[in-house]
Structures are given as C-alpha cells and as structure tokens.
C-alpha cells in the first residue's frame, strides 16, 4: 500500500503519478516496467517515489486496489434483470456487466490484465490470494448449480472452476486486445457483433458443463 506521504498529495498530483504508472504497466508489463520512467513521466524525483511507495510491486498492488474499489462501486447499483436466473444465467450477466465495466475503465483494466494475464502473474505466488478469492467464488457458484440440477453432478468441480476461470480471463483478454484498437471502446463493446462474439464464447463454456436434455429424460 502507498505511504501516507502519497495519500497526502493533492489529488491532481496523485493522478499524474497513477496515470504514469498505468501507462508504464500497459506498455511494458511488470518485468519490463521501470521506476525511472514512471518518475520521469510523472515529473517527480526518484527519492520522492520511494517516499510514496516501497517499490513497483507496491504501485501495482495499489492499482489493483483501485480497480477493485471501482468495480465494487460499479456493481453496487447494478442487478440481474430478474431473480430467476440459473447459475449460468447469472454468470452470463456477470460477464456482460463486467465487460461494460472494463470498457468504461479501459486503461486501468488493460494495465492490470497485461501483468496478470499476458505475463501470467495471476497464476503465480505474488497474487495467489487474489486468484484464490476468484476461484473460491466460482467453486461456490458451481456447487450451487449442482444442487439446483443445472450442472452435471459428475463434473469435477476443480476442473469446472478452471474452465470458468479461464473463460473469464480469455474474454477479458479479448476485450482489451480488440477493444483498445477502437476509437470508442465503449461503443465497440456494446455493438451487436461484439456481444454476439461474447455470447458464442459463453455458449461453448456453458454447454460443455450443463446437463444435456437427454439426462433429464426419465426412463
């Protein structure tokens, strides 16, 4: 977490440093990022940087916390269209709404995604607790789906979590990779063509896990 000296800075100066860090991680990832470039692009000295943060991991974790807080605020007043959605329906809504969030915060999401997904740090020890929170939440959804009769009870929960986790990350990566090429990423994300692509990805995932109609037929 940043030091109190950073939090005491005027908001405008904090934002300049944040923007420089976001640009750095977006362009160079984590391993290739440089504190020297961050301080140069934010107009502060290297000594000042270390008065604000411990190291670049400290900066990156601060950006992750920012993203998490933004997401909480974003989802706070958003709810599924109805209360009768099954687990897959809810997962579909969550992905689509998350896509809307990513499109509204493209640069911050791209910086985080570049490090966690493209560089694979999401699966490493540095972010093990973050990954575990996500997979635990998915496991709970899957177990509930089994209780509701929506999911084949023979499905291995651990493997199902891996599938859903991978699909979420694949969709995020797709949005960032393709969306950042657009002049208006939010308009692109809402387009019928993009929505259809996401629907197809979700369809493949869902019907690889969902019970087939024949399994419901009583002999």
Residue 33 clears pLDDT 90, i.e. is over it: yes
Closest C-alpha among 132, 129, 127 to residue 57: 127
When pLDDT is averaged across residues 184-195 and rounded to a whole number, the result is 82
Residue 45 clears pLDDT 80, i.e. is over it: yes
> Which residue has better confidence, 219 or 13?
13
User: For residue 210, what is the DSSP state?
Assistant: B
Contacts of 177 (CB under 8 A, 6+ apart): none
Residue 211 binned pLDDT confidence (cut-offs 50, 70, 90): low
C-alpha–C-alpha distance, residues 82 and 92, integer Å: 13
Contacts of 95 (CB under 8 A, 6+ apart): 168, 171, 198, 202
Domains of the chain and CATH, by start: 4-60 (1.10.10.60), 78-216 (1.10.357.10)
Share of the chain above pLDDT 90, in %: 32
Residues 11-24 pLDDT 10s: 999 999 999 999 99
Q: Report pLDDT for 216.
A: 45
> Which residue has better confidence, 126 or 49?
49
Contacts of 152 (CB under 8 A, 6+ apart): 209, 210, 211, 215
The tokens describing 184, both together, are: 């208006």
Overall pTM > 0.85 = no
Residues 144-175 pLDDT 10s: 888 888 777 887 889 888 888 888 888 877 87
The region that residue 217 occupies, defined by phi over 0 for left and psi between -120 and 50 for alpha, beta otherwise, is beta
Q: Report pLDDT for 83.
A: 66
Phi first, then psi: give them for residue 151, nearest 5 degrees: -125, 140
Highest mean pLDDT among 42-46, 131-135, 192-196: 42-46
Closest C-alpha among 99, 101, 103, 130 to residue 117: 130
Q: Report pLDDT for 119.
A: 84
Total number of residues shown for the chain: 219
Mean pLDDT for the chain?
A: 85
C-alpha–C-alpha distance, residues 165 and 138, integer Å: 8
- 166: buried, middle or exposed (CB in 10 Å: 19+, 13-18, 0-12)? exposed
Q: Report pLDDT for 214.
A: 47
């Amino acid at each position: 977490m940043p030091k109190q000296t950073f939090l005491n800075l005027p908001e405008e100066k904090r934002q300049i440093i944040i923007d420089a860090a976001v640009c750095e991680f977006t362009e160079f990832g984590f391993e290739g990022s440089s504190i020297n470039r961050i301080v140069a692009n934010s107009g502060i000295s290297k000594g000042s940087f270390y008065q604000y943060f411990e190291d670049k991991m400290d900066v990156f974790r601060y950006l992750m916390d920012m993203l998490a807080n933004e997401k909480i605020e974003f989802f706070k007043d958003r709810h599924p269209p109805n209360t009768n959605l099954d687990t897959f329906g809810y997962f579909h809504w969550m992905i689509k709404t998350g896509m809307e969030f990513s499109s509204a915060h493209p640069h911050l999401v791209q910086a985080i995604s570049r490090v966690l997904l493209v560089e694979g740090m999401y699966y490493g020890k540095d972010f093990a607790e973050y990954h575990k929170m996500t997979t635990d939440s998915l496991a709970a959804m899957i177990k509930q789906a089994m209780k509701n009769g929506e999911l084949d009870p023979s499905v291995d929960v651990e493997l199902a979590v891996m599938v859903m986790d991978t699909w979420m990350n694949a969709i995020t990566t797709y949005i960032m990779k393709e969306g950042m090429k657009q002049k208006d990423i939010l308009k692109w994300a809402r387009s019928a063509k993009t929505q259809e692509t996401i629907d197809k990805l979700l369809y493949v995932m869902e019907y690889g896990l969902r019970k087939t109609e024949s399994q419901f037929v009583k002999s």
